[in-house]
């Protein structure tokens, strides 16, 4: 029988019959194996639905309420390792029993792939929250950070060692290091230092055989793949060695809000030409959000230097911004991390280690890259679409270091030629199928209308802004390279083939998999 998506219903039926039998045998085998291999500690690390803390642990880092409903498929168990050997045991027992493992660091996956599964197959969640140490060597300007740490914890502990050291992470401090670095990691210092993944120099990974590999033992292909190839496909990254970067003792931030009128539209239009080209010490992003039947433009900025220096640059190169000295706030880099993590704004830096979750809601996000400035007239139409859909646009500049790095250096291929990335942000707070359908459809509709203005062939997307609309097969864990090309080229362009070949080498049976994981590509030896 030729397999295509129209066979999905039939496949699901037989799969369900088979699973009834499979679940009980494989789960028994898994629990026997994991209890034996983790011995004395097993009650502290294995949580099944019979444990009172199961739900609390499961929900602790679920960020998207869309995947925290009564009908969301739940894991047979959560394993919360306290040591690396527990992670090894989980993999070994998972392979032996054939149970799928979902690895979770910070739980921010936009489509919930770190804690749920959509193909009705039983699965285990491996929750790395307890593995979150950060060890900083300020002399060598490096650090080892475990995947379960949040970006806030990482930044905080680095800054505790020196106010001249920092790390280019994403802007939301509750995101996990594990997911962020496996997918890239874009933030306020990306124009100066690149992505988080561009600054990784070693890592410890548990492979499909349960071995712990470092950069030397895993080899350069796998080391390349884990720095941006998307989490969950190649193994479990326990820990990362990162190069720390210089941050000046004083940085400057500003945040300006304007109601959308002709001037604000012109400002956004001009921003497209400036933000990408301006000194890489300056990061200026734009948030365009519906409010009171109009759109509000908020311009946020981080400058790696003083307010006086910033004022000079802006008055020379971006006078349309109308920035005044009173809008600028000087602070330390770590304070700017708090400032940028909007939900913590105004709090002390200690809030970064409190593991406070980002406010939770229901959401659907999509992403696009823009290579040519969008005409001013077109923006007027775009605002109308967003207003109608009640959709936010978050726009972040590329250029600087992002353009200097070759597009094959890491799996993240969106380098030179990209002016900026757009994120379509749809958030809502009503529960239920109808609300979800309505909001998701509205997001897709704006995305469709944006087609003329964004990258083409492929229409590129950022893997850390995971979007299952881009393609997935009816069963999770598809092994088909051809089927996966549809979404794979959007995230990785030509790097997708290399990722699939690395996968073919390190995990040919596709044990580490989910609805959008890299399929193994095994070419004939004569190829």
Query: Judged by CB, which is closer to ligand FDA: 232, or 295?
Result: 232
Neighbours of 346 (CB within 10 A): 9
For 268-289, give one letter per residue: b (16+ CB within 10 A) or e.
Answer: bbbbbebbbebebbbbbbbbbb
Task: Provide the minimum distance between the beta carbon of 397 and ligand FDA in the complex, in angstroms, as a whole number.
Answer: 13
Q: How far is the CB of 197 from ligand FDA (least distance, A)?
A: 9
Q: Toward ligand FDA, which CB reaches closer, 106 or 504?
A: 106
CB-nearer residue toward ligand FDA: 154 or 307 = 154
- Which residues of the chain form contacts with ligand FDA (CB under 6 A)? 63, 102-110, 113-114, 128, 147, 170-172, 175-176, 178-180, 182-187, 231-232, 236-237, 358, 464, 514
Minimum separation from the CB atom of position 425 to ligand FDA (A):
9
How do strand 282-291 and strand 329-331 relate by DSSP bridges? unpaired
Least distance between ligand FDA and beta carbon 176 (Å): 3
DSSP β-ladder status, 420-428 and 294-303: unpaired
- 251's enclosing H/E stretch is strand 251-259
Q: Report the phi/psi class of residue 210: left, alpha or beta, with left for phi > 0 and alpha for psi in -120 to 50.
A: left
Q: Between residues 186 and 303, which has the closer beta carbon with respect to ligand FDA?
A: 186
Find all residues with CB under 8 Å of 28, minimum gap 6, and list them. Answer: none
Compute the least distance from the CB of residue 230 to ligand FDA, in Å.
7
3-class secondary structure, 81: coil
Question: In the complex with ligand FDA, which residue's Cβ is closer, 185 or 458?
Answer: 185
- What's the first-to-final CA gap in the chain, in angstroms? 28
Write down the least CB distance from residue 87 to ligand FDA, Å: 9
Q: Which residues have CB under 8 Å from 52's CB, separation 6+? A: none
Question: How near is the Cβ of 216 to ligand FDA at its closest, in Å?
Answer: 19
Which ranges in 39-142 belong to alpha helices (H)?
42-45, 54-60, 84-97
Closest CB to ligand FDA among 164 and 468?
Answer: 468
Tokens coding 212: 């712990």
CB of 237 or CB of 264, closer to ligand FDA: 237
Burial of 179 (0-12, 13-18, 19+ CB in 10 A): buried
Nearest of 87, 188, 106 to residue 153 by alpha carbon: 106
User: Which CB atom, from 114 or from 473, has the smaller least distance to ligand FDA?
Assistant: 114
Instruction: State in angstroms the smallest separation of the CB of 505 from ligand FDA.
Output: 17
């Amino acid at each position: 029988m030729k397999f295509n998506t129209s066979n999905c219903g039939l496949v699901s039926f037989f799969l369900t019959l088979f699973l009834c039998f499979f679940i009980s045998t494989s789960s028994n085998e898994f629990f026997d194996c994991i209890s034996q291999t983790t011995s004395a500690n097993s009650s502290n690390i294995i949580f099944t639905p019979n444990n009172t803390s199961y739900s609390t642990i499961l929900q602790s880092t679920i960020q998207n309420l869309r995947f925290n409903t009564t009908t969301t498929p739940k894991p047979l168990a959560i394993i919360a390792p306290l040591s690396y050997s527990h992670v090894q045991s989980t993999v070994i027992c998972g392979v032996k029993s054939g149970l799928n493992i979902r690895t979770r660091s910070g739980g921010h996956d936009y489509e919930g792939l770190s804690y749920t599964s959509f193909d009705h197959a039983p699965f285990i969640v491996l929750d790395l929250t307890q593995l979150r140490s950060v060890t900083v060597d300020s002399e060598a300007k490096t650090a080892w950070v475990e995947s379960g740490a949040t970006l806030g914890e990482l930044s905080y502990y680095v800054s505790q060692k020196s106010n001249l050291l920092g790390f280019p992470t994403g802007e939301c401090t509750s995101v996990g290091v594990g997911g962020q670095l496996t997918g890239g990691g874009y933030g306020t210092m990306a124009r100066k230092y690149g992505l988080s993944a561009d600054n990784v120099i070693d890592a410890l990974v548990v492979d499909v055989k349960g071995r712990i590999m470092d950069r030397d033992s895993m080899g350069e292909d796998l080391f390349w793949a884990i720095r941006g190839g998307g989490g969950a496909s190649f193994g479990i990254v326990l820990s990362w060695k990162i190069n720390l970067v210089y941050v000046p003792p004083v940085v400057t931030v500003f945040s300006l809000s304007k109601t959308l009128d002709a001037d604000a539209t012109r400002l956004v239009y001009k921003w497209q030409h400036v933000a990408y080209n301006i000194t890489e010490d300056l990061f200026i992003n734009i948030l365009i959000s519906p409010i009171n039947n109009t759109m509000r433009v908020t311009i946020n900025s981080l400058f790696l230097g003083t307010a006086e220096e910033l004022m000079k640059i802006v008055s020379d190169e971006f006078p349309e911004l109308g920035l005044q000295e009173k809008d600028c706030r000087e602070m330390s880099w770590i304070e700017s991390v708090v400032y940028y993590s909007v939900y913590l704004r105004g709090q002390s830096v200690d809030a970064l280690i409190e593991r406070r979750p980002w406010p939770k809601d229901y959401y659907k996000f999509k992403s696009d890259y823009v290579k040519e400035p969008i005409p001013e007239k077109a923006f007027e139409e775009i605002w109308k679409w967003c207003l109608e859909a009640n959709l936010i646009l978050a726009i972040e500049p590329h250029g600087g270091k992002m353009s200097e790095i070759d597009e094959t250096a890491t799996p993240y291929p969106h380098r030179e030629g990209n002016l900026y990335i757009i994120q379509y942000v749809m958030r809502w707070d009503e529960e239920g199928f109808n609300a979800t359908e309505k909001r998701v459809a509205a997001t897709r509709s704006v995305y469709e209308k944006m087609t003329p203005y964004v990258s083409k062939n492929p229409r590129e997307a950022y893997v850390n802004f995971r979007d299952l609309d881009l393609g997935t097969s009816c069963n999770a864990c598809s092994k088909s390279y051809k089927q996966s090309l549809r979404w794979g080229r959007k995230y990785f362009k030509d790097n997708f083939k290399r990722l699939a070949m690395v996968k073919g080498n390190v995990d040919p049976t596709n044990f580490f998999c989910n609805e959008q994981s890299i399929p193994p590509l095994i070419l004939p030896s004569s190829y």
